[in-house]
């Protein structure tokens, strides 16, 4: 009988592991509050253990493996890697532990059929009752009311989430492509993805929107890449957002406020937003992050997505990573992760909106400095030094503005990885390299127009915004790299000044 149970559990584990793997690959939602990675690790490790047990491994080794498994699951390594944030401590998370412990323990209990029966009963009880128990867990008290509406609408099969991408530049078009591949595949999204296009007339005399809808390509900002048949370009902003409850903002930051003003009163009440926009607005009352601007203007929750993401590389499906920064509601973050996640675009979530957003914004200032170094042919050591000093100022500035910013955020894709890629290959670096090669004689505006064909530089305007914050708060001396970048960009200093400030380096951070 015990051999039968052993075989049955062994077989069951293979079925569960296969099922969980299928769900992970297809992005199908978990039935309850557990991540697929968590279940896969359970299933896989218990399978390994039972194989060992079959081969006569001693019980103390088996028990040691159980403890290891417990620790492994507690740290949620796998679920973190697939981008699903760790579940919060909840009494109802423990059925999963019970599940794995029983599956390990059962084969050891050859001698006690009574105990085995009790364990079997408890195992099936917890396994099948888990969804019901977890449904009773109270909603996160800090969640915004809109978020709860949002989740309710997601759970209703008749109200699939509808996505609008607001922006259609280089990154906006790639974002639409990523999203469109997922909305076709995942049942809780509408297939169609609307993409709002700031209408332009092409040299051929045709409207950009018409060409995108006819060729399925953004011939101006992402030529040669098919966006997906389910992407519909729409030049009418109001019409583009009308039915959508997931709004993806991805325009150059200087246009966001104007767009939001046009959207007031025009969006769904249960809408959620995510900002892929890098930059900030400086107002009389202080700096305002773009996600905050969207939240304040539209009265909706806004997450962010940032990372080491040069759009053209992701467009041709080269592997990269990104970070979703979210405020309170983990389930909303998971839904954004699912919307963007593909095998070549790995998305993880971090509960630190300001930290993630400031990383994405400030690294453009450091990239301008890296471009000066390249333009003056100062070499790799100098560039690495500039990147390190830049990262240090990014962290200090973020934490001085928002004490809640976490150190760990700087090690996510949005932090050090984005800094490296931007300083090696981004458009800010490219244009500032040209600026330095020309000895500062050609303006950034001129070089931007000539080199970027309609794409926008962010680093120069961000450096100016950061400078305004620094001078307003009396922090200029604490941030010599940031302030020098602005002074070079505005013609007050020559590009070579980028390495002439070392004696000014502060010792305080």
Ligand X SMILES: NC(=O)c1ccc[n+]([C@@H]2O[C@H](COP(=O)([O-])OP(=O)(O)OC[C@H]3O[C@@H](n4cnc5c(N)ncnc54)[C@H](O)[C@@H]3O)[C@@H](O)[C@H]2O)c1
Beta carbons of 450 and 338 less than 8 angstroms apart: no
Spatial separation of the C-alpha atoms in residues 2 and 177, rounded to whole Å:
53
Spatial separation of the C-alpha atoms in residues 240 and 235, rounded to whole Å:
8
For ligand X, the closer CB: 105 or 312: 312
Rule CB under 6 A: say whether 65 interacts with ligand X. Answer: no
Neighbours of 156 (CB within 10 A): 10
For ligand X, the closer CB: 14 or 237: 237
Return the range that interacts with ligand X (CB under 6 A); candidates 261-269, 304-312, 334-342, 382-390: 304-312
Beta carbons of 442 and 435 less than 8 angstroms apart: yes
Spatial separation of the C-alpha atoms in residues 85 and 88, rounded to whole Å:
9
Q: Which of 107, 169, 415, 495 binds ligand X (CB under 6 A)?
A: 169
363 is catalytic: yes
Spatial separation of the C-alpha atoms in residues 423 and 295, rounded to whole Å:
30
Please, which of residues 227-286 interact with ligand X by CB under 6 A? Answer: 250-253, 255, 276-279
For ligand X, the closer CB: 69 or 241: 241
Please, which of residues 174-213 interact with ligand X by CB under 6 A? Answer: 198, 200
Q: Which of 39, 44, 171, 479 binds ligand X (CB under 6 A)?
A: 171
Q: Which of 167, 325, 390, 495 binds ligand X (CB under 6 A)?
A: 167
Return the range that interacts with ligand X (CB under 6 A); candidates 20-28, 64-72, 169-177, 386-394: 169-177
Spatial separation of the C-alpha atoms in residues 8 and 14, rounded to whole Å:
10
69's tokens: 């498994």
Spatial separation of the C-alpha atoms in residues 507 and 496, rounded to whole Å:
23
For ligand X, the closer CB: 278 or 429: 278
Residue in this structure with the two tokens 């996600």, named with its chain if needed: 291
Beta carbons of 254 and 461 less than 8 angstroms apart: yes
Rule CB under 6 A: say whether 455 interacts with ligand X. Answer: yes
For ligand X, the closer CB: 39 or 336: 336
Considering only CA atoms, which of 266, 215, 213 is closest in space to residue 241? Answer: 266
Spatial separation of the C-alpha atoms in residues 213 and 418, rounded to whole Å:
32
Rule CB under 6 A: say whether 172 interacts with ligand X. Answer: yes
Return the range that interacts with ligand X (CB under 6 A); candidates 46-54, 263-271, 368-376, 455-463: 455-463
Beta strands in 212-333 (DSSP E): 217-218, 222-226, 231-234, 246-249, 272-275, 280-283, 286-289, 302-306, 320-325
Q: Closest-CB residue for ligand X?
A: 169
Considering only CA atoms, which of 229, 219, 216 is closest in space to residue 183? Answer: 229
Rule CB under 6 A: say whether 456 interacts with ligand X. Answer: yes
For ligand X, the closer CB: 73 or 461: 461
For ligand X, the closer CB: 55 or 201: 201
For ligand X, the closer CB: 221 or 341: 221
Beta carbons of 395 and 406 less than 8 angstroms apart: no
User: Catalytic pick from 162, 278, 363, 383?
Assistant: 363
Rule CB under 6 A: say whether 317 interacts with ligand X. Answer: no
Residues that bind ligand X (rule: CB under 6 A) add up to a total of 24
Q: Which of 186, 193, 260, 310 binds ligand X (CB under 6 A)?
A: 310
Smallest separation (angstroms) from ligand X to the CB of 421: 9
Q: Give SS3 for 246.
A: strand
Smallest separation (angstroms) from ligand X to the CB of 354: 17
Beta strands in 25-125 (DSSP E): none
Smallest separation (angstroms) from ligand X to the CB of 250: 5
Considering only CA atoms, which of 79, 71, 15, 72 is closest in space to residue 43? Answer: 15
Spatial separation of the C-alpha atoms in residues 116 and 439, rounded to whole Å:
80
Q: Which of 458, 461, 483, 484 binds ligand X (CB under 6 A)?
A: 458
Smallest separation (angstroms) from ligand X to the CB of 255: 4
Considering only CA atoms, which of 370, 349, 387, 300 is closest in space to residue 86? Answer: 349
Provide the annotated active-site residues.
363
Q: For binding to ligand X (CB under 6 A), which residues are involved?
A: 167-172, 198, 200, 221, 250-253, 255, 276-279, 309-311, 455-456, 458
């Amino acid at each position: 009988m015990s051999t039968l149970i052993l075989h049955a559990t062994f077989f069951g584990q293979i079925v569960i592991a296969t099922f969980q793997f299928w769900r992970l690959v297809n992005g199908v939602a978990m039935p309850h509050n557990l991540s697929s990675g968590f279940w896969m690790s359970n299933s896989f490790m218990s399978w390994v253990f039972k194989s060992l047990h079959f081969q006569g491994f001693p019980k103390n080794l088996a028990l040691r493996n159980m403890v290891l498994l417990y620790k492994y699951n507690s740290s949620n390594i796998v679920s973190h890697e697939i981008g699903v944030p760790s579940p919060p401590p909840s009494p109802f998370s423990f059925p999963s532990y019970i599940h794995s412990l029983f599956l390990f323990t059962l084969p050891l209990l050859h001698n006690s059929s009574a105990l085995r029966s009790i364990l079997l009963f408890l195992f099936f009880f917890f396994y099948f009752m888990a969804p019901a128990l977890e449904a009773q867990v109270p909603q996160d008290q800090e969640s915004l009311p809109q978020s709860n509406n949002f989740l309710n609408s997601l759970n209703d099969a008749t109200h699939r989430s509808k996505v609008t991408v607001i922006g259609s530049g280089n990154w906006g078009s790639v974002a639409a492509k990523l999203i469109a591949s997922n909305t076709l595949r995942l049942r809780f999204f509408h297939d169609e993805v609307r993409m709002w296009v700031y209408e332009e007339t092409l040299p051929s005399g045709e409207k950009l929107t018409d060409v995108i809808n006819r060729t399925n390509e953004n011939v101006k900002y992402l030529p040669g890449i098919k966006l997906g048949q389910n992407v519909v370009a729409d030049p009418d902003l109001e019409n583009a957002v009308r039915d959508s409850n997931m709004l993806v903002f991805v325009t150059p930051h200087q246009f966001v406020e104007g767009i939001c003003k046009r959207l007031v009163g025009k969006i769904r009440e249960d809408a959620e937003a995510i900002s892929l926009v890098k930059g900030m607005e400086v107002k009389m009352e202080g700096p305002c992050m773009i996600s905050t601007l969207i939240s304040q203007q539209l009265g909706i929750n806004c997450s962010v997505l940032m990372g080491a993401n040069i759009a053209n590389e992701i467009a041709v499906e080269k592997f990269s990573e990104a970070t979703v920064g979210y405020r309170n509601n983990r389930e909303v973050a998971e839904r954004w992760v699912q919307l963007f996640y593909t095998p070549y675009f790995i998305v993880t979530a971090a509960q630190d909106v300001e930290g993630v957003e400031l990383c994405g914004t400030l690294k453009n200032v450091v990239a301008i400095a890296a471009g000066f170094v390249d333009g003056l042919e100062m070499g790799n050591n100098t560039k690495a030094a500039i990147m390190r000093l830049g990262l240090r100022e990014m962290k200090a500035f973020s934490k001085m503005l928002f004490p809640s910013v976490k150190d760990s955020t700087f090690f996510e894709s949005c932090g050090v990885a984005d800094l490296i890629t931007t300083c090696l290959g981004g458009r800010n670096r490219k244009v500032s390299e040209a600026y330095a090669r020309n000895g500062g004689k050609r303006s950034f505006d001129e070089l931007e127009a000539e080199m970027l064909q309609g794409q926008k530089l962010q680093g120069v305007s961000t450096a100016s915004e950061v400078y305004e914050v620094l001078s307003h708060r009396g922090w200029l001396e604490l941030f010599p790299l940031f302030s020098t970048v602005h002074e070079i960009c505005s013609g007050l200093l020559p590009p070579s000044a980028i390495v002439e400030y070392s004696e000014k380096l502060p010792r305080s951070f």
